[in-house]
Structure 1
């Protein structure tokens, strides 16, 4: 099925309602579809996404395909990206574009001019940085006049290249990470001024001691804070698939991120969240989806939820971790799965409510104090099994709606008032209750 341009109404959400979208994984060829790009199956995929009532997609150009040489950004590849964005517009979908791909579903995609005989640090080599900045600016500029272009994310969890457990990391300091982030974000802004440009890390930034990408960077640089919530990180293993901790993990990351934000109302984008088997069994995926979405929607200042992912990975493709094959809301034949129906129902319900009243969750009036210096690199207390994480989940299990505040701000009345916090409790208070 095809549509004439502008024939479908845009799925613009009501004012004050969070956005709902999906990370687009092509049903044919996975992200390798860029090698043999065919717009017809892409259009069919986008039709199946729009039919769920979603309003945006996040898409992933493969960096080595788009920039195979440091001074060659393939014009045809850029044109294909633009055509995908235009096809999405015809179906009422906005598009966020990730640039430096980077890392996807356990596979690394780095261009040859950064590897082996040409190995150079992704984050500190001046020529590599210039090439990256030119690439990001080029993509942003090509899309700057498209009304449905949301903005650029620098790359998908590119922080995983900077340290353990990556098998061959490009090691950097936090200062070097921040310098790189600022340079890349500036390149996106030059290409498409005023759009939603941001960076996104996997949860090492929040949980892993000594990781060079920090919570403060995540919560202060870029237009919004992005969090990626995956319960295979120890949460589901420790607490079980139906536990409060598993259902609240995404909401926890949203609230944790706010502790470092300088703007009390800074938006947070739940940019990746999914139901990974076997940690979430297929027959529990719909329930997990409903629980996770409801918990996230109970967080003030949520920009939106972007589910991972749109379509399953076809079994003909080899060597993926088993959980990656079944994460889609739809099958490779574009049939809606139970989790897809659950998300579609949540979207419809929220929009029905938002048409009659603004969706603004009540402030979280009780804040759990995180006794961690703002510049500390020791953050494992926040990870599953850490004292702070477990205290937050005990409060949630008792029916509380905890926020998070750094100890350095726990006595700042203006900060607490701006966030609607009227009471603070410590980990010791929770442990002793």
Structure 2
């Protein structure tokens, strides 16, 4: 595979028992699931250990659970699939999975309590080290959208400041690197980091800490409600987040991983899921510096399981009995068309200026109040978001540049930007 070839994968949701499969792990069921994923022509999966199952006590990381994770990784290797592992789960499909030693009678802030943070470090280091010698192990993500624990709308948040969030991320990433040196270690937030005023996890952290920038694109965030299932903003939402993230990166060619994206019903009706999938991926592939696309998710959630939000049941590329759905067939076609090809789209020469307050000179990521206010302009319905969508509908391929860099010739040249426009120029 060429170094600049695109990666196509799926977030692995077991077809039997969902992520509760760790409680009664069956490697034969896992192998059957992985066979169906590999049959789509995908090259990697993202895997989710459940934190309370793997570390039920702060000083107990269950050896058998770690062995099962390694077994899964080895089974994936037999099918030509690389594996990326999320550590702190954390939060999945509306359910929280936090160990008892962080809740109720042992209530402690998971981002700042010294004992909890030390336990997290040991856990991430242990998982990474267990997989470090596996050639198909890509690396660790600190956790799945763990920023949702840090503030509203979570019903019981562990509140922190942006400085505390940055320091916590740095410690977690260092633990991953210590366990598996040189692998692709990163962190990933849901879109509050880009869209929510005052949120402690910030764009600066997302674009500067870790080996790549991860974005999670979900159009149920107001995009599809406002623009419809086939609107420009809806079909380009993933591309928008990819380009938005680049504004804060110090490296003009920092890779961006579209780590989660899916077709949520009823906003994207099942009969239109394949079209949405094709359009979303095609638009994302028009973004330079894209590392890859990892669809959410591999298999549908069984209707035998209760209390999921309705949209979660049908997000799979495959059914519970491992049949390929139309969206899965679309992803398979795209992956086949790009297999072995270099990804070199033209640079985006027109940039829209994002100005939401604060300065980010230098390479400091402990940014205090910088870029914690004003982010709602970037959210669906915000002035910046709608201006970017308008330019895109006009046939422009807009990049994004920070206001404080908009007139920096060296920065613009490094990114291939030759024209800069502001929101008021569009509206």
Per the TM alignment, residue 325 of structure 1 is displaced from its structure 2 partner at its CA by 0.3
Aligned pair partner of 2:383 in 381, 387, 399: 387
Counterpart for residue 63 of structure 1 = 51
1:176 corresponds in structure 2 to 164
The answer to whether residue 400 in structure 2 is matched with residue 404 in structure 1 is: yes
Structure-to-structure mapping, 1:94-105, within 5 angstroms: 94-105=82-93
Helix, strand or coil at the partner of 1:199: strand
Task: Show the counterpart of 1:235.
Answer: 223
Following TM superposition, by how much is the alpha carbon of 1:18 offset from its aligned partner in structure 2, in angstroms? 1.2
Q: 2 CA distance for matches of 1:204 and 1:320?
A: 21
TM score, norm. by length of structure 2? 0.97
1:211 aligned to 2:199? yes
3-state DSSP of counterpart to 1:154: strand
**1:66-105 to 2 correspondences below 5 Å:** 66-105=54-93
Counterpart Cα distance in 1 of 2:226 and 2:59: 48
Equivalent position of 1:45 in the other structure: 33
- CA contact under 8 A between 2:349 and 2:419: conserved in structure 1? yes
Within 1, Cα distance between the matches of 2:181 and 2:403?
36
Distance 1:127 1:18 in 2: 40
Number of the residue aligned with 2:364? none
Corresponding residue number in structure 1 for 2:345: 361
2:203, 2:371 within 8 Å by CA — same for their partners in 1? Answer: no
Distance in 1, Cα, partners of 2:371 & 2:91: 27
Contact 1:150 1:196 (C-alpha < 8 Å) held by counterparts: yes
Query: 2:59 is paired with a residue of what secondary structure?
Result: coil
Secondary structure of the structure 1 residue equivalent to 2:159: coil
Alpha-carbon deviation of 1:306?
A: 0.3
| Cα distance in 2 for residues equivalent to 1:183 and 1:271 | 22
Q: Which residue of 1 aligns with 2:208?
A: 220
- Does 1:376 find its partner at 2:381? no
Deviation of 1:371 (Å): 1.4
For the Cα contact (< 8 Å) 1:14–1:351, is it kept in 2? no
Deviations 1:57-102 (A, max 9, x none): 0000000000000000000000000000000000000000000000
Structure 1 residue 16, shift from structure 2 partner: 1.8
The Cα of 1:15 is off from its aligned counterpart by: 3.6
Counterparts of 1:223 and 1:60 in 2: how far apart (Å)? 19
Partner SS for 2:293: strand
Matched, 1:185 2:198: no
Residue in structure 2 matching 1:110, options 95, 98, 107: 98
| Correspondence 1:160 to 2:155 | no
Give 3-state SS (helix, strand or coil) of 1:194's partner. Answer: coil
Residue 283 of structure 1: aligned partner: 271
Give the unaligned 5+ runs of structure 1.
1-12
Q: Distance in 2 between matches of 1:17 and 1:400?
A: 25
- Answer yes or no: is the 8 Å Cα contact 2:144–2:189 preserved in 1: yes
Cα distance, 1:351 vs structure 2: 2.1
RMSD: 0.7
Alignment deviations for residues 114-147 of structure 1 (CA, whole Å, 9 cap, x no partner): 0000000000000000000000000000000000
2:4 paired residue among 8, 16, 36 = 16
| Alpha-carbon distance between aligned partners in 2 of 1:420 and 1:86, rounded to the nearest angstrom | 42
Deviation at 1:17, TM superposition (A): 1.8
Unaligned runs of 5+ in 2: 360-369
Aligned to 1:8: none
Q: Distance in 1 between matches of 2:6 and 2:424?
A: 35
Partner of 1:416: 412
Q: Counterpart in 2 of 1:336?
A: 324
2:195·2:376 contact (CA, 8 Å) conserved in 1?
A: yes
Aligned equivalents of 1:340, 1:155: Cα separation in 2: 26
Please, which of 22, 26, 30 is the counterpart of residue 18 of structure 2?
Answer: 30
